[in-house]
Structures are given as structure tokens and as C-alpha cells.
Amino acid sequence: MRVERIKLQSFDDTPDGELFIAEGKKNIPFEIKRVYYINKLDNSKAVRGKHAHKKLFQVIFCVNGSFAIDFDDGTDKQSICLDSSSQGIILPPMMWHTMHDFSKNCALLVLASDYFDESDYIRNYDEFLALCA
């Protein structure tokens, strides 16, 4: 399974900031139940993620700076660099992911299809591979 990119509509013709828009049914393939963001990612050695979700869908945007994200569906591996505020990815369930190489002032915005549930996380890679098989 490939991770799809999502492109926001951008209005950048104003001197007072850029506006980026995603409209639910057109761009986000699920009902959003939770939104969160992660900032103060000034440590380029930071690693986040290293897990997969059993059922959760997420859309992840890099609203400032850049970072790399590696994906593994148990068979194929893929790596994407998110370095544009209008670009994001749709992260499906059962996709092992690791985020790294955060630039200074990098900030992530995450839209999620469900409420927080620790039992939806697979945090052990061998367990992930066993569930993929």
C-alpha cells in the first residue's frame, strides 16, 4: 500500500500571511474526531512515531519547516520528505512509520479519525510484522 499525498489549496497573494485550506469531503477521507499539533521540534536528532495504528487514519501536515517520514507496510518501504506547508500525507492503518530529521522550528499538524486509544497502537515491530502476515 502506498502512502498518498494530500495538497491543500493555498492563497499566498496577501502580504499578511498565507492561507491553506482542506475541505472535508473533498480532501480528508474520514470524519475528523481529533486534531493535535506538535511543535518545538528543534532537535534534528528527535525521532517520533515508530509505531503503527490498527484502525486509525491520520492526515499529517508539516505546517512549518520540514521533516522526513519513513513508512513500512510489512512488505514495502517508502520515505517522504514533507517540506511544504501545502503538502501532507494520508497515513492509513497498519503502516509502520518513523519521523525524523526535523528542521528548526518544524511544526506538525495531525488530523485523526478517532479519539486517543492506546490499544490502537502497535509499538513493537515484530508484533506489527506478525499482524501483517
Catalytic residues: 51
CB atoms within 10 A of CB 100: 16
For position 37 contacting ligand TYD by CB under 6 A, the verdict is no
Position 11 contacts ligand TYD (CB under 6 A): no
Q: If you ran DSSP here, which 8-state letter would residue 75 be given?
A: S
The CA distance from 82 to 91, in Å, is 13
Q: Does the protein bind ligand TYD through residue 36 (CB under 6 A)?
A: yes
Closest approach, Cβ 98 to ligand TYD, in A, equals 9
Strand-pairing partners, residue 34, are: 112
Residue of 3, 46, 48, 80 that binds ligand TYD (CB under 6 A):
48
Q: Which amino acid is residue 88, in one-letter code?
A: G
Closer to ligand TYD by CB, 10 or 110: give it: 110
Phi, psi at 24, each rounded to 5°: -35, -75
Min CB(38)–ligand TYD separation in Å: 6
d(CA 60, CA 15): 26
Within positions 97 to 126, which residues make up the interface with ligand TYD, using CB under 6 A?
A: 116
Residues that bind ligand TYD (CB under 6 A): 36, 38, 48-49, 116
